[in-house]
Structures are given as structure tokens and as C-alpha cells.
Amino acid sequence: MAKKSKVTYKPSKSTSKFIKVKKELYAEKLRSRRKALKMSQDKLAYLTGLDRKTINRIENGHFSPSLDTMLRIALVLKLNASEAITI
């Protein structure tokens, strides 16, 4: 029986750049909204049940949040679901 080879996905440079730009846009949107509400990262973290470091990493574009995390943040920042996941 032949061995199955592992297939790994490597995104193209244009895909990687697209994802990076989207992450940065989401980070800026989150930071702007939080600041507009005069809310600290600590308070956002507490209200969402996330760690403050996680909020910081998302806002700095170093972490891609899951859909669940995006929706929790949206709820606290008074954004509707579509605003939370679209940029």
C-alpha cells in the first residue's frame, strides 16, 4: 500500500499580504472603537472574558481572533455582528 503524502498549504505572497492588511485594518477598527468609548484594554478584556494581552495582540495585528472572540468584542463595543467581521 502506498504511503499518503502530507499535503501542506502555503499561501501565495499576494494572499499573505491580503491577510496581513485585513488584520491591520481590523486591529485599527477595534482600537478606534475602544478608544471612542473611552475604554481601556483592561476593561475590554474584563468585559469580554479575554486576557488583556490577547486584546493587545489583536490591536497590534499579532493575533487573528476567532469568530467567537470577534463577536464577544463586538458585543462589548456595541457593534453589530456584520460590523465585527467586515472591514
Q: Residue 59 has which C-alpha cell?
A: 490591536
Q: Compute the distance between CA of residue 46 and CA of residue 69 in angstroms, rounded to an integer.
A: 13
* Residue 56 falls inside a structural domain: yes
Write out the residue range of the structural domain in which residue 60 sits: 16-85
* Residue 72 falls inside a structural domain: yes
CATH code, domain carrying 66:
1.10.260.40
Q: Residue 62 has which C-alpha cell?
A: 499579532
The percentage of residues in the chain with a pLDDT greater than 90, rounded to a whole number, is 53
Environment class of 7 (CB within 10 Å of its CB; exposed 0-12, middle 13-18, buried 19+)? exposed
Q: How many domains does the chain have?
A: 1
- Other CB atoms closer than 10 Å to residue 17's CB: what's the count? 11
Q: Compute the distance between CA of residue 87 and CA of residue 32 in angstroms, rounded to an integer.
A: 13
* Residue 8 falls inside a structural domain: no
pLDDT tens column, 48-76:
999 999 999 999 988 889 999 999 999 99
What is the reported pTM? Answer: 0.78
